[in-house]
Structure 1
Amino acid sequence: MKDIILVSHGDMAKGVKHSLEMITGKQKSVHVVSLKDDGDDKQFESDLLKIMSKINGKKLIIADLLGGTPCNVALTQYSEDEDVDIIAGMSLPLVVEATLNTQATTKNLIGSAKQIVVNVKNQLEQSTHIGEGNDIDLDKYAEFKGKENIVNIRIDERLIHGQVAGIWSTSLNTQRIIVINDEAATDPLQKSSLRMAAPTSMRLSVLTIKNAVKNINSGKYGKQRLFILFKNPTDVLRFIEEGGNINRINVGNMSHKNGAREVTKSIKVTIDEEVVFHKIAEHGVDITAQLVPNDPIINFMEKLDR
């Protein structure tokens, strides 16, 4: 794995790393060097050399500002070092991409970075309706009935966000994300927002619970690798009671609500939600908790019942 060194004026690099780890989990291969408020090029150079001396192999330095002291010092020290690449123009999306896509070249990263800044309101207005096509006869998919290729089922209150779009979907080679929530499926604004949040390379379906059961059970998605997202455990239970098949589910994010208690750092549940989880488990569903793929898998029900 290529080590990444974030360099900046003040605490920008530290803040970007903190935000990165909120999305991706701990990243031991990402390092930070800051030009301090009362520092100068000598202070920064000393700190940079100290970090670089501890790292072997290929390295990528991402600087905050072209022509700034952090970038200039890095260039002076490593312009002729073939094991060190240097990019200026630090942003969280760029750092996430560099961290997760270890095969990306500097050219790839710069190309991706050029597409990062968008007029979100304009894009929302232009976002097309997310539909399931005009297929009515689901019998045409009979050969795939009961053979749906589900790579993960997750409860995540935020639905499609950095961890889902940038980490889970990519690591599982997802081809279609299916969001199952009645409210989202009937709200054009929510559907457009989910489309913008989803990776452009992946298909997206936003479905009511009944339509999700019907479409998935019919084999409509063939051999596509499906990542299924629920917003809450109640929707999961309704999906099962409508005839949906779930063997295992991963609980990712459930935020604090009045009367909720903490099960894990990212999961807070109310008494009513505890009851729902027990009903889901009674259907033979293995319930785990795992924020990102490199975190350990936790037996959620054991944790819940402590």
Structure 2
Amino acid sequence: MISALCDSRMSAGMWRGDTPLFYHPRKRYEESSNTMIPLIVACHGRFADELVKSAAMVYGEVGSVHAVTFMPGEGPDDLLRKYEEIVTAEGSPEAVLLLVDLFGGSPYNAAVRLASAHEGMDVLSGVNLPMLLELLDSRDENSTVPQLVESAYNASREGTKAFRTPLAAAPAAPAAEEAPVVDRRAGRPTSGHMEIPLLRIDNRLIHGQVASSWAKVVKCDAIFAIDDDVAKDPLRAKLLLQVAPAHLQAYVISVDKAIKVWHNPMYADRKILWLVSRPGDIVRLIEGGVDIKKVNVGGMTHREGCKLISQAVAIDADDLAAFKKLNEMGVKMTLQQLPTNAEEDVMPKLANIQF
């Protein structure tokens, strides 16, 4: 519906520069009352800003549409704070629709944390221009969040077309079958330890870079997300497990649990990628007997009182002490966000850091 509307506007030549001649932003804004369900668009980088601007260029300015950026150095808590500020500014409505770019990304995870506390809120991933335009056109004071979700989803699918290549409809999912009961202890090793092809510090734990890049490079068969706080939070644990590659087993466990599993010979034939949130947890792992010789420092989001040692890594006094302790333990630590990036020694970056 919205694509046909835009096509008719453009084909009629009703444009001057970037603005449609018939477009009345004040009228559009007046039509969008406080009873309209607020839309929050959140994406990596500045994409949300530009997407909302593009929608305004095509459709016109409307109220209760908010763009949220997610920049390097920011974390899920920063996103959650931005969402909450918008909801408060809107008068704390119970019904809000959050549109994010990637399923399982930080904007999605922070949005779910907000929506889980409000029955009338929902989160839809895969936001694009056809989806947003459809919402602007179909949203009114009588709309419900489920109606908007369905409308946006249909518009996104219908707006995806190829000039030459025919696109088939997605095949129906096969019927679920009950998994057979398997004794996982049968034939398992009785001595030794698992292989850890990569131990990475990344306080986002499982996310796109890990799932799409590192897991493939190290050829692991499982992922451990090791964090005491997340292991006690069912919602955050569930969000992390949703992002894990479908062909890999993934677990969210505490530091103490990771130490116990390391010493369990049943896992000696496994190749497991380990993810932790902070260097202090690695000190605890080593003190618990885990054999760690090298650490990949991938991402530590900025917090109050932190200092940057790279664009993606911010540390506080406790982190600095832990890095120095790991260095004394003979652990090699390198900064490397992606497998294609060059490795950088962490210790020279810490030389002039003081708290």
TM-score for both structures, normalised by structure 2: 0.48
1:223 maps to what in 2?
Answer: 269
Q: Please, which of 144, 160, 167 is the counterpart of residue 89 of structure 1? A: 160
Question: Aligned partner of 2:206: which letter?
Answer: I
**In 2: Cα distance, 1:195 partner to 1:109 partner:** 30
1:119 maps to what in 2?
Answer: none
Matches within 5 A, 1:171-250: 171-250=217-296
**In 2: Cα distance, 1:19 partner to 1:172 partner:** 31
Structure-2 change in CA distance of 1:240 and 1:109 (3 Å): farther
How far 1:110 moved relative to its partner? 8.7
Is 1:292 the equivalent of 2:338? Answer: yes
**In 2: Cα distance, 1:109 partner to 1:17 partner:** 30
Q: Deviations over 1:268-304 (max 9, x none)?
A: 1112210111011111110111011111100011222
**In 1: Cα distance, 2:328 partner to 2:186 partner:** 31
Residue 338 of structure 2: SS of its match in structure 1?
Answer: coil
Matches within 5 A, 1:1-306: 89=160, 141-143=189-191, 145-146=192-193, 148-306=194-352
Contact residue 188 and residue 267 of structure 2 kept, 8 A: no
For structure 2, the 5+ residue unaligned runs are: 1-9, 11-17, 19-41, 48-53, 59-127, 131-158, 174-181
Contact residue 64 and residue 89 of structure 1 kept, 8 A: no
**In 2: Cα distance, 1:255 partner to 1:17 partner:** 14
How far 1:199 moved relative to its partner? 1.2
Question: Aligned partner of 2:330: which letter?
Answer: G
2:100 maps to what in 1?
Answer: none
Contact residue 157 and residue 254 of structure 1 kept, 8 A: yes
**In 1: Cα distance, 2:167 partner to 2:267 partner:** 31
How far 1:17 moved relative to its partner? 10
Q: Deviations over 1:45-84 (max 9, x none)?
A: xxxxxxxxxxxxxxxxxx977xxxxxxxxxxxxxxxxxxx
Residue 178 of structure 1: SS of its match in structure 2?
Answer: strand
Residue 264 of structure 1: SS of its match in structure 2?
Answer: coil
How far 1:264 moved relative to its partner? 0.3
- Which one has the bigger strand percentage? 1
Contact residue 138 and residue 218 of structure 1 kept, 8 A: no
Question: Aligned partner of 1:218: which letter?
Answer: N
1:26 maps to what in 2?
Answer: none
Question: Aligned partner of 2:302: which letter?
Answer: H
**In 2: Cα distance, 1:108 partner to 1:284 partner:** 55
Residue 257 of structure 1: SS of its match in structure 2?
Answer: coil
**In 1: Cα distance, 2:166 partner to 2:245 partner:** 20
Q: Deviations over 1:141-164 (max 9, x none)?
A: 324x13x22111000011111111
Contact residue 261 and residue 269 of structure 1 kept, 8 A: yes
Contact residue 139 and residue 218 of structure 1 kept, 8 A: no
Contact residue 307 and residue 314 of structure 2 kept, 8 A: yes
**In 2: Cα distance, 1:261 partner to 1:192 partner:** 31
Structure-2 change in CA distance of 1:232 and 1:16 (3 Å): closer
Residue 327 of structure 2: SS of its match in structure 1?
Answer: helix
Contact residue 180 and residue 208 of structure 1 kept, 8 A: yes
Structure-2 change in CA distance of 1:64 and 1:110 (3 Å): farther
Give the count of matched residue pairs: 202
Question: Aligned partner of 2:321: which letter?
Answer: V
Contact residue 189 and residue 269 of structure 2 kept, 8 A: no
**What is the RMSD computed on CA atoms of the aligned residues?**
4.0
Structure-2 change in CA distance of 1:177 and 1:19 (3 Å): farther
Q: Deviations over 1:74-107 (max 9, x none)?
A: xxxxxxxxxxxxxx739xxxxxxxxxxxxxxx99
For structure 1, the 5+ residue unaligned runs are: 1-8, 21-33, 39-62, 66-87, 91-105, 116-132
